[in-house]
Chains A and B, each alone.
Chain A
Amino acid sequence: MLAYIVRRLFIAVPTLVVVSAIIFVIIQLPPGDYLTTHIAELQSQGEAADSGKIEFLRKQYGLDQPLWKQYGFWVLGMLQGDFGYSFEYDLPVSDVVGDRLWLSLLLNFSTVIFIWVMAFPIGFYSATHQYSWGDHGLTFLGFLGLATPNFLLALVLMYVLQVEFGISIGGLMDPQYAEQPMSWAKAVSIAEHLIVPVTVIGTAGTAGMIRRLRANLLDELQKQYVVTGRAKGLPNLRLLLKYPVRMSLNPFIADIGNMLPQIVSGSAVVSMVMSLPTTGPMLIDALRSQDMYLAGSFLMFLSLLTVIGMLLSDLALALLDPRIRLGGRAQR
């Protein structure tokens, strides 16, 4: 087990290094930097840019250094908790970002839980009642969930809830709690506001998970040991839960790793539509205004989230399944 963990960590660290390099290149891709954009803006307003100040800023942020040096500063800074400086907000990135990272984490984590809670009973039912009306109906619903762009689903759900039920669900909490410290009432408010985004982000993932669980369970149900169990008269539910369900649980853990990038993507878009105070809306603004360190930190954070999530899911899988500890690789 230890050997497996070490090997897995050895893969994760270089992955993060390469990921950070790619992100740095991408945020450098647009021609010019924030200062040139800024100067152009000032000039279009008829103001002359103070060349002394520009020069000072350029030096201050290391924009005059060669690229590889800028990258080095950025990565070293991040390791020490300094995420750079946001030009747009004129604040250190960590101050701008603030709670958003935690709320993003909360949102994504809740979505994973939602997927598990929804997919298990539905997948179980679909497999044990193969080709029944319930199975067909649920499969069709799942496909529909896969096919609908989730930003539109968010919009429609928001509309229905607001018009039919009078529940306002913009944001992640009722406005009066925004400035308050954490309390029970605030937690309840956040939980209420999480329902719609989590449902919307989770639909596609749930549909995929249901299909995989159903397929796996169907494979197991045809095996001899199930027939033996039935033949010796085990109660049906007990037989199912004890053997085949356990066998087909692997994808539950393994797929979360594969699904995380999808969940993170989904939450970014849905947050924008629903104006949730997570990383999504700010990322898009930062990308538009070439606020490179802010955008870079967000991208880095999202990738870190996925890499760590995949790592955790691989480790959990190894804990669960001795074959993987030996073979070293998750079965897809």
Chain B
Amino acid sequence: MNNRPEHFVDTAPWDPHTTEALTPEQERYYLATQWQLMWWKLKRHKLAVASGVVLLLLYASVLISEFLAPYNLHSRNIRHIHAPPQTVHFFHDGAFVGPFVYGYSRSLDLTQLRRVYVEDPEKIYPLRFLCRGDSYRFWGLFEADLHLVCPADRDGATLFLLGTDRLGRDVLSRIIYGARISLTVGLFGIAISFALGIVIGGLAGYYGGWVDSISQRIIEIVRSFPELPLWMALSAALPVTWSPVLVFFGITIILGLLDWTGLARAVRSKLLALREEDFCTAAQLMGARPGRIIGRHLLPGFASHLIASATLSIPGMILGETALSYLGLGLRPPVTSWGVLLAEAQNMNVVTLYPWLMLPVVPVVVTVLAFNFLGDGLRDAADPYK
């Protein structure tokens, strides 16, 4: 007699995952790569994303400065020297006209010996969009004269949305062109400091011992210099005969030369911890050379941190270049950066009489803030498993 039920075996294939089923979201999360996780985490940081977009737009503008600027970098309007900004109006005498600016009527104030500009409601200059204006060589390749916005097609019509400087050049156009230099100085500088920081910090962290102590001493010495006076001394040492382009590269190298220490320290401390890990020993046993171990196995482990800290040190360089150029030790005209533009605002008289010459500080502040916010977001996102 056999009361026991027959031993039953299900013939259908068994899927072990059914016991703890993953919802599609969980699956997506568990299978995501580190970079995907970081991206998701960064996306939640609204301010960082917004800053990233602002920076992208700024850097994109660098590619088409000629098109965006109403005037060329050096075009002068000698009838309008130190003219105040013109505001864009839409209505004239209560009637809709579309975007236009009023022309100036100019008079000389003989007691203060200065030109006085007043809006003249008789002169209505409607703006033109996607129009022909100053001609330029786009990227130095071909002639073009298309601009996003130009002054009215009339004699004496002007469009100085941010006023003009002491040579009658449009401040807005110069700010747009200045972005080219100011924004790239930081990138070149960071490239140099990145290279130095990774090589020196990498060697110190990987080999330890005397290599480490020497590099630590060097870092300590470099850090104990007050940055700006040293930058000043170094850029005063740049030969006067150098062309503006050479000076530009000289300045970026100088900016990068003092900045690598923070990065080197970060790389070193991470490497000191990582080189004790098993996967590093395994790579050593398999005969990988130090360069390959550092570059292929160790660095990717904290590349995200490096990117975050690099983002946070770009603003320092932009501010450094601005200060140097302001003092007349950095870039020199005809190279135009925001610092060179600000150098026009050297004293109280300018602030009192022509306050719009200080406007180039706005893009500087915006850029620096954006880099700081983006860097903060990146730093939080750098370790997505936390």
Contact = CB atoms under 8 A, between A and B. Distances in A.
Interface of A: 11, 14-15, 18-19, 22-23, 26-27, 29-31, 143-144, 146-149, 151-152, 155-156, 158-159, 162-163, 258, 260-262, 264-266, 268-269, 272, 283-284, 287-288, 295, 298-299, 302-303, 305-307, 310, 332
Given A155-B348, A159-B348, A159-B351, A149 B319 contact: yes
Given A30-B237, A265-B227, A265-B229, A149 B322 contact: yes
Nearest to A155: B351
A303 B225 contact: yes
Contacts of B233: 23, 26-27, 287, 295, 299
18 contacts: A11-B220, A14-B217, A18-B221, A19-B225, A22-B221, A22-B225, A23-B233, A149-B361, A155-B345, A155-B351, A159-B351, A260-B226, A261-B226, A303-B224, A303-B226, A305-B226, A307-B224, A332-B265
Contacts, number: 122
Nearest to A146: B372
Given A29-B237, A147-B365, A295-B233, A19 B342 contact: no
B224 A261 contact: yes
A266 B232 contact: no
Given A18-B221, A26-B234, A152-B361, A302 B229 contact: yes
Interface stretch (B142-150, B173-181, B323-331): B323-331
A306 B226 contact: yes
B223 interface: yes
A269 B237 contact: no
A243 B351 CA distance: 49
A60 B287 CA distance: 62
B372 A143 contact: yes
B224 A310 contact: yes
A26 B230 CA distance: 9
B118 interface: no
B340 interface: no
A151 B372 contact: no
Nearest to B347: A155
Interface residues of B, number: 39
B352 interface: yes
Contacts of B347: 155
A302 B227 CA distance: 10
Interface in B360-376: 361, 364-365, 368-369, 372-373
A299 B342 contact: no
B307 interface: no
Contacts of B229: 264-265, 268, 283, 298-299, 302
Nearest to B351: A159
Interface of B: 217, 220-221, 223-230, 232-234, 236-237, 239, 265, 315, 319, 322-323, 326-327, 329, 342, 345, 347-348, 351-352, 358, 361, 364-365, 368-369, 372-373
B298 to A, nearest CB: 21
Contact of A269 (B217, B228, B234, B348): B228
A149 B342 contact: yes
Given A149-B342, A152-B358, A261 B225 contact: yes
Contacts of A299: 229-230, 233
Contacts of A266: 228
A302 B229 CA distance: 8
A158 B347 CA distance: 10
Contacts of A27: 233
Contacts of A261: 223-227
A30 B345 CA distance: 29
Given A31-B239, A262-B226, A287-B236, 9 more contacts: A14-B217, A23-B233, A149-B323, A159-B351, A272-B327, A284-B327, A299-B230, A305-B226, A332-B265
B361 A148 contact: yes
Contacts of A147: 315, 319, 364-365, 368-369, 372
Nearest to B350: A155
A19 B224 contact: yes
A143 to B, nearest CB: 6
B369 A144 contact: yes
Contacts of A146: 315, 368, 372
B226 A152 contact: no
Contact of B232 (A15, A158, A283, A332): A283
Contacts of A288: 236
A295 B265 CA distance: 31
B329 A287 contact: yes
Contacts of A11: 217, 220
B342 to A, nearest CB: 7
B351 A156 contact: yes
B369 A143 contact: yes
Nearest to A304: B224
Given A26-B234, A149-B342, A272-B327, A262 B227 contact: yes
B237 A265 contact: no
B326 A149 contact: yes
Nearest to A305: B226
Contacts of A332: 265
A144 B372 CA distance: 10
Q: Which of B265, B315, B368 has the most CB of A within 10 A?
A: B368
